[in-house]
Structure 1
Amino acid sequence: MEQNQPNLEHSPFITYVRDEWAELSGNIKVPITREEFEALKGINENISLEEVSKIYLPLSRLLNLYVTEKQSLHRETNQFFQRNHRKVPFVIGIAGSVAVGKSTTARLIQTLLSRWPNHPKVDLVTTDGFLYPNQILKERNLMNRKGFPESYRTGKLIQFLAKIKAGAARVEAPVYSHLYYDVLPSKKQIVDRPDVLIVEGINVLQVGKSKNSRHIPSVFVSDFFDFSIYVDADETDIQRWYVERFMILRETAFKNPNSYFHRYSQLTDEQAVGKATEIWNEINRKNLVENIYPTKNRADLILQKGKDHSVSRIKLRRV
C-alpha cells in the first residue's frame, strides 16, 4: 500500500534493498534448526531459512545493538545516581495488517534475540488478549468491528505496559483463543521481568480517539516501546494471503466442532472464497485502510514484503 502518504522531500528513513540488508548479517550463522524454523512459520507463509539468514538475522543483530545500548545506559545511570534501580525490559512493538505475517515475524525475532547471550529471556505478548470478550462486543454491537480500535481494552493494555516498564514482577496478560475466537477468562500469561518483551498486534502503533471515545488519550501504547516494526505489503497481496489462509483453515482448524468458525468448514471452494473475500472487504480491508496503514510511518523500521512473503525492502528510521 502506498496511498494517502505525505510526499516528503527529506525522508526520515534510510532504505535498504534486500541484498544490501543481507550483507549486514556479519557472517553470523542462523542459530535455529530447520525443525525450529518450521514450527515458527505461519500457516501459508512460504518463507525459507535463506529469508531468515538474509533478513531476520541482520534485524536481530541490529536489535541486539539497541538492547545492549539500553543495558549500558542502565548501568551508567545506576552509577551516576549511586543507586541500584531495577532494570526494565526492552520493549519491541510489531504492527501490520491481518494476514501480513506479523506473528511469524514476532516469533522469529523472539527466537533469534533469545540466542544473544546478553538478553536470553525474550517474551512475546499479542494484543488479541486485550480485545473485549465477545459477550461485551455483542452487547455493544461491535462483533463486526472486532480488531478496530474501539474493540480493544486499550486502557488495560496501557496498564499492563506501565507495570512492565516499572519493572514489576509477574505481570498478568489476558490470553486469546483463535479456536474459540474469544478471550479465555480463566487463562493468563505471566510476564516476569524478561530482558526483552515483544508486543505484537494490529493496533500497537495507533493514536487518537476511537469511534466510541470522547477524547484523545494522553498516553499511547507506543509510548512504552523502545523500538517498533511495521510489516507492510501491497493490499492485493495481503488480501490474497488472507483468502489462502481462510481456505487452509477451512480444511484444518475449522473442522474442529469447537471452532467458532466450524460452520465454514462445509462451504464449497467457491463459497469459501466468496465468504473470505466478503470478510476481507467488509472488515479487515476497512480496518487496514482506516486504522492500521496510517500508522506505518510511526514505526522505527518497516519490512516491505513482496508477493511471495519475502522481504524486498527495509526502511530504517535515521538515528
Structure 2
Amino acid sequence: MAHSEHLSPYLSFTREEWRQLRNSTPLPLTEEELVKLRGINEKISLEEVSEIYLPLSRLLNLYVASSQDAYRATKTFLGHPNEKVPYIIGIAGSVAVGKSTTARILQTLLSRWPNHPKVDLVTTDGFLYPNRILEERGLMKRKGFPESYDIRRLLQFLYDVKSGQPEVTAPVYSHLAYDILPNEVQVIRQPDIVIVEGLNVLQTGESEQRNGRYIPQLFVSDFFDFSIYVDAKEEDIARWYVERFKVLQRTAFSNPASYFHRYADLSEEEAEETAMGIWREINGRNLRRNILPTKWRAHLILEKGPNHFIQGVKLRKL
C-alpha cells in the first residue's frame, strides 16, 4: 500500500499490491466463460480477473459474510426471524468505460462463493423513461443524463428489494431497439446479492426546499451496502467509445431492427466523426457534469489505464 496518500480517505494500491490480496483464492472462471462476459472491444484476460477481480470478490465476500452475521445477531436478539434482505452493490462509471463487464464478472465470481450463490444483476438502463416520453420532454439528446431516468421508480424498486419483498420486478431495456421493452420485466426473488450498474447511481442531486425548509431526499446510493466506480482518463474513454461504435456499426447496426441502422453504411471516416460528435454532445458532457463528480462517493475506485487494464485500486478507509 502506498504511503504518500496517508491523509487521503482512501487506501491506494498498485496493481501488484492489490494482486497479493487474492490470498490463494481459487479462480472459478474459464476462458470460455470469460469470452461471454467481455464487453464489445474489451480485451480483459484471465490474468486481469485473477489479479484484480478475485481479490475484489474476496473482499466483497468478507463484507457480505459480515452482513449475514449481523442478520443472525438481529434474529437472536429479536427471538424470531426477520426478513433477510439482499446485499446491494452499486457500480458506476462512464459510457464505454467497461462497468457492464465489471458487473458481469463480479456477478459470476460472487455467485461461486458458497455463502451467497444467488446474485442478480440489474442495469439502470431499464429505468430510463421510454423514448416517447423522452421525445415529449425534448430529452432524446440527453439520454443517460439524470433527468432521463424515472428515479422514483428506481427508488421504489430498491426500497422493495431492501424491504425483503419476496418478488420485485424491474423494467427491461433493449440496446437494439434503444428503448424500454413494454411487455418484459426482470424478476428479482430475494437473492443474496443484487448488483446495480448504471451511469448515475452515485449521484445525490440537489436539495429540495419548501417554505424555506430543506426536505430530506432519498438517493439511489442510500440503498447500497458497497459501491464501485470504474475510472479512466476522458481521452481514453472517448477513444474506447469511438472504437466500440465502429465495431457496432459493422455488427449490430447492420440489423434493420436496430435503432442505429441509419449508421450502418457510413464510411470509416464518417463513422469516426459521428461517434466523436455523439461523444462531445452527449456522453462527454454527461461524464464531466454528472458522473465524474460522484467518483469520490464510491467505496472503491478501479483505475484503468489506456489499454483497459486496471492500474490501481483505491479503497475507502473505514
Q: Fold conserved (TM > 0.5)?
A: yes
Deviation digits for residues 17-62 of structure 1, max 9, x if unmatched?
0000000111122101111110000011111100000000000000
Q: Which of 181, 186, 191 matches 2:183?
A: 186
Distance 2:141 2:220 in 1: 23
Alignment of 1:167-316 (within 5 A): 167-209=164-206, 218-316=217-315
The Cα of 1:9 is off from its aligned counterpart by: 8.2
Partner of 1:27: 24
Q: Runs of 4 or more off by more than 6 Å in structure 1?
A: none
The count of aligned residue pairs is 308
Would you say the 8 A contact 1:208–1:217 is kept in 2? no
Deviation digits for residues 234-278 of structure 1, max 9, x if unmatched?
000000000000000000000000000000000000000000000
Give unpaired runs (5+ residues) of structure 1. Answer: 1-7
Distance 2:138 2:206 in 1: 19
Give unpaired runs (5+ residues) of structure 2. Answer: 208-213
Would you say the 8 A contact 1:174–1:184 is kept in 2? yes
Identity %: 63
Deviation digits for residues 91-141 of structure 1, max 9, x if unmatched?
000000000000000000000000000000000000000000000000000
Deviation digits for residues 279-314 of structure 1, max 9, x if unmatched?
000000000000000000000000000011110000
Would you say the 8 A contact 1:129–1:183 is kept in 2? yes
Deviation digits for residues 159-189 of structure 1, max 9, x if unmatched?
0000000000110000000000000010000
TM-score (norm 1): 0.95
TM-score (norm 2): 0.95
The residue type equivalent to 1:31 in the other structure is: P
The Cα of 1:209 is off from its aligned counterpart by: 3.5
Distance 1:126 1:206 in 2: 15
The residue type equivalent to 2:177 in the other structure is: Y
| DSSP 3-state at the match of 1:266 | coil
The residue type equivalent to 1:105 in the other structure is: T
The Cα of 1:217 is off from its aligned counterpart by: 6.5
Would you say the 8 A contact 2:25–2:58 is kept in 1? no
The residue type equivalent to 1:191 in the other structure is: I
The Cα of 1:10 is off from its aligned counterpart by: 2.3
The residue type equivalent to 2:223 in the other structure is: F
Are 2:56 and 1:59 equivalent residues in the alignment? Answer: yes
